[in-house]
Amino acid sequence: MRKPLFFVLAASLALAVAYVTVHAADEPMPSVGQAAPTFTLPSQDGSQIALDSFKGKWVVLYFYPKDMTPGCTIEAHNFQRDLAQFEAKNAVIVGVSVDNPDSHKQFCTKEGLTFRLLADPEHKVVDEYGSLGHFGPMTIANRNTFLIDPSGKITKVWTKVDPKVHSGEVLAAIPVS
């Protein structure tokens, strides 16, 4: 009796992974020159944050796989380290993952992060930005970043970024106001 149950579970898992893979291709990644897709998501403090609330500022919208993992922690620390330089260029940093607001709150507290981390556990915004991915059976956000200008247009897109150097790359792409 165990073998049929094992095969049913294995088949179910294979279908779930296939759905995530197919679903990831549903939304193309927004491109340079396009208006950034708008959204509203909860942040680590539970407040609802809308992309539109940052009109007039540069927005560094970065997607990352998971709170409290090594690469994501390095990337977040580097954005935090450079935050004053981003602010001097009239820029805000907004991170998005599929983790929930409580996970973001713990991550921010543990790592001393003061910029916004937005929760997208339903994968709507991650998918809309063409950044939905998977790691085995786990759904994640792929490590992609969108630089949005003060008028709301995408000016640069980075995919599969190196978390060790990415903050500097983004900072260099924002003109001095």
Residues that are catalytic: 72
CB atoms within 10 A of CB 108: 21
CA distances 43 to 5, 100, 106, 121, 155, Å, are 40, 9, 12, 12, 24
Q: Is 130 helix (H, G, I), strand (E, B) or coil?
A: coil
CA pair distance 10, 19, nearest whole angstrom: 14
